[in-house]
Amino acid sequence: MGTATAANPPAAAPAQPPRPTLAERSAQTEAVARPYFEAYIARDWDRLEPLLDEHIRFDDATAHVVFGGAVGKQGKTELMKAFRETYAAIRAMRFHPQSQFASGEHMVFVGELEWSLGLADGAVVDTRMPFVVRLQVRQGKVLEHLDTADYKPFATALRQVRQAAAAR
């Protein structure tokens, strides 16, 4: 039954597809990461959502002290809910790039984020701050999104808005 003969040679092990080169993997990553990042900055959640892996992990460790521990999210459903609800307070976001690169599964965007945040009391905080985003792309989907920002300009702008409101 399982004996090899001249007419029935042993089955060869399936050939492994060649591993993509660093350049090929980086290009595949960039093809997903760039449209994802553009949708993120535009807050276009309908365009962003199909690019997410079901197990996406999102975090901004630098925002925890400013906004509390609820910044990190795990899973596509939870993240999209947070984007659609929490980010609704963001009036505008614009990214001013300084550098960006893709290397293997990762793409990094470095620059300044200019953004406006509407507060519950109707005040608006306008800020421009250093901002770095690192994305990990695997099998054509964003698996991890890590923001890192210098929130000191935001804290200063928030304090000024609060002082102006108190002076009225």
Q: How many CB atoms lie within 10 A of CB 32?
A: 19
pLDDT at residue 134, rounded to an integer: 98
- Ordered strands of the 52-59 beta sheet: 73-74, 52-59, 141-149, 124-138, 106-118, 90-103
pLDDT at 8 over 70: no
Burial class (CB in 10 A: 0-12, 13-18, 19+), 45: middle
Q: What is the pLDDT of residues 76-121, one digit of tens each?
A: 999 999 999 989 999 999 999 999 999 999 999 999 999 999 998 8
Domain boundaries, the chain: 22-167
pLDDT at 7 over 90: no
C-alpha to C-alpha distance for 82 and 20, rounded to whole angstroms? 35
Asked if 63 and 151 touch (Cβ cutoff 8 Å), the reply is yes
pLDDT at 122 over 60: yes
pLDDT at residue 9, rounded to an integer: 64
C-alpha to C-alpha distance for 31 and 102, rounded to whole angstroms? 10
Q: What angle do CA 3, 7, 12 make, to 5 degrees?
A: 65
- Between 1 and 25, the higher pLDDT residue: 25
pLDDT at 14 over 90: no
Give the confidence band of 18 by pLDDT, cuts at 50, 70, 90: confident
Percent helix, percent strand, percent coil in the chain, to nearest 5: 40, 35, 25
Give the confidence band of 5 by pLDDT, cuts at 50, 70, 90: low
Q: What is the pLDDT of residues 31-44, one digit of tens each?
A: 999 999 999 999 99
pLDDT at residue 88, rounded to an integer: 92
Asked if 154 and 125 touch (Cβ cutoff 8 Å), the reply is yes
Q: What is the pLDDT of residues 61-74, one digit of tens each?
A: 999 888 876 678 99
Residue 134: closest CA among 147, 152, 124: 147
Architecture field, domain 22-167: Roll (3.10)
Mean pLDDT for the stretch of residues 110-135: 96
